[in-house]
Structure 1
């Protein structure tokens, strides 16, 4: 699977992000109450992250697996695009242990913001990103890539945003260094309309293992 450069630049980026945000705040309506992050994990709670701590950008290579030891995630990654209405397509609900990488953006490890989304739950129970809200600043995220390299990320913050105030540009905007966003549904749950927001994990590249 090849990677395309993200078309999101300037005003065009924000316009695309709003469309994607419309999917992200509406998906997920199965019920249950996944863990929620504490205010101590919010952006800015631990002070700004020095840019010099970011790892050296990697070349393009599609992600094939994600591992998050702190919450027991070890899952394959599939590429997802946009559906006929311009919304981000979701990973299949037939496999609860599956994450989706937006293949229209950068690959994890490249300079910029890579996006991985996953279900919080399905009709069968908790899904791949159910535990995102239980993460803490400093936790590790490993992303194995198609070229047999592995990108290592460190969690910077975990936030919950209501669907009425989702910060599209902040979440989707292209970063000046290699960053990663993990996104799933969360927040309050209502039986008639499902989850009312999204959990977003912010992480930055700390290093990588070269292809074997």
Structure 2
């Protein structure tokens, strides 16, 4: 079941990525002492200009005229409802929040996923989301380079560069950092305008 959700989500993502290069992402950064959040959203609209049912291949054309070929997996419902001229809207969002936690917290990693597909007989589309939460420990702080080394629950290490000197002053070896990463995609298909 888990693998099928991932496959469906990957199918939705592959359909949506067709127009991303042409859309400027909207990015926001917020900061408070001991906490930083970054969010980004990309929206795109493309038109179906070709369909090959035997291979489940769709050609999408963006507003700038670029055509991209996308293979839609068997997991995506209602492929037969697609028509040349249909409009495909996609929105992809990512967010990451890092929160400084003083005191001893247990290292951990959790992941939650959701998936909602279009009902049978409707135009293809749906939403998929994933949230990953990791509690890591600070094993080193380099005030000269701004690098903070984090060790995760599986023993892997990662250096994170802290650009804000005031935030860096708050971080000490032995502190914990909670990292919450979320991503979501929504795809809808609208019939060709008459």
TM-score computed with the length of structure 1 as normaliser: 0.29
Q: Which structure would you say has the larger RCO, counting Cα contacts within 8 Å and 6 or more residues apart?
A: 1
Q: Which has the higher strand share?
A: 2
